[in-house]
Structure formats: structure tokens, C-alpha cells
Amino acid sequence: MTDERIPYLTVGERAELHGITFSEELELERTQPWVRHWSARFAAGAERLRTWLAGGRPAADRAALCVVGDRTIVDAVRAVVAKLPEPVAHFVVGNAVIFCAGVDSIAWTGQSMPVLPHEAARPIVITTTDHGACAHEVGHLWQLRGLPANARLTAEKLARLEDAGRAIAAEEGKVDEKLDQMMLIERAADAAASAWLGYRVDSTSGLLGEARRRRELIAIQRAAEPDEEE
């Protein structure tokens, strides 16, 4: 998967972006060829890889992954994390809590929560054993930068913030641009998942892609509707 809006970089340019020498970049790409792909540097991706490199390339303690819920899905998640490149696995273990439900049960109550990486750990919700879907969500975690202020917002306030952005897009006549940006973000997560798993993960073309775009368009239209309480 490619995208013409993400510029191609030479080996030297990638080395500069990652803060390492040309020869170090060649060795990095030999052992981890996924870093050559545009999805590796999409949004915050390059910054996260650069941080991992500058930090001495720490190994991921995959056993410390914070994941709870349906055993079947938990096992699938751990299988995906086992396949992730070291930089990505290290970031996931240190920055995410993964909740799994929908296969063994539609809901569950745990005995206790595992130790969170830190209080601002970002949640990932998985409702399937599909490895591609799991890796796609990890792609979002790797690529997208959560705003510190948003970590303190409730789910309801976050939803209102998202709807406000949709309403502004509708008001400014930028619905198509917002839909295109949403699809680019989803394609980038698919592309990263494909590179990590070694087979194509595609949730943005064909009927799946049309369904994604249609759901977001409906959300934009609803957000743009006048508030009945006003």
C-alpha cells in the first residue's frame, strides 16, 4: 500500500530523520525492513522510532503487556505482539492497556487490573481474534499522538470534542477533506500492520472502505444537526 501524499525518502534522508548514521540506517533496514515504508514515519511514527533508537534500543518485555479480558482474544493479542518489531512492541508494552471482549463473552468483570504502564496509558479495545485487526489498532497507537489534555477527559467529553470537529468540517464545507484524512489515517494503520505481520491487512478498500467512509459521513451529518435543546 502506498500513498502519494507521503514523500519518498532516500536512505540518507531516513538516517537523518532517525538521528543515526548512514551505515547505521542501512543495518537498521537490513534487520527491520519495515522502517523503509512510509507508514513507519506517518504522523508520530518517526519520532517514536527515533526515541527508541536514542534510548539504546531497549528490548520489549512482552510478558508485561497490560491485556485483560476474553482468554481467546488475549491469546490472539499476545500472538500479534510476539510478531511486532522490537520498537513497536516496546512502545505498546509501555503505553497501552488492552481490553478484550466479544468472543468468549460479551462482557466480563475481572478480579483485578494488571499494573498499568503509567496513568496516561492509552486504551485499545479488541473484540475479535483477527490478527490483522489487532495489528491495525497497534498501528494507530504507534502513529497517532494522543494529546495530554485529552487524557483527562471523560469518554463523553472526548466524543463531544470529536463531534465538534465534525461539525466544524461541515460548517466550513470541508467534509470531503475530513473524510479523506480519516481514510489516510486508516490506510496508514493497515500499511503498518501489513509490514509487521508479513501479509496484507486491508480495511480501507472495497466494501469495507465504503462502509468506513459512510459511517463517518453519517457521524458528520449528525454532528452538524442543530442541537434540539437550543
Each residue's pLDDT tens digit, 204-230: 999 999 999 999 999 999 999 976 554
Give the confidence band of 18 by pLDDT, cuts at 50, 70, 90: very high
Cell of residue 85, nine digits = 518489531
Which has more confidence, 36 or 3?
36
pLDDT tens string 150-174 = 666 677 888 888 899 999 999 999 9
Angle of the 71-83 helix axis to the 131-143 helix axis, nearest 10:
60
Write down the pTM of the prediction: 0.89
Domain boundaries, the chain: 58-149, 153-224
- Which segments within the chain are labelled E, that is strand? 66-69, 96-100, 122-126
Number of neighbours of residue 133 by Cβ within 10 angstroms: 17
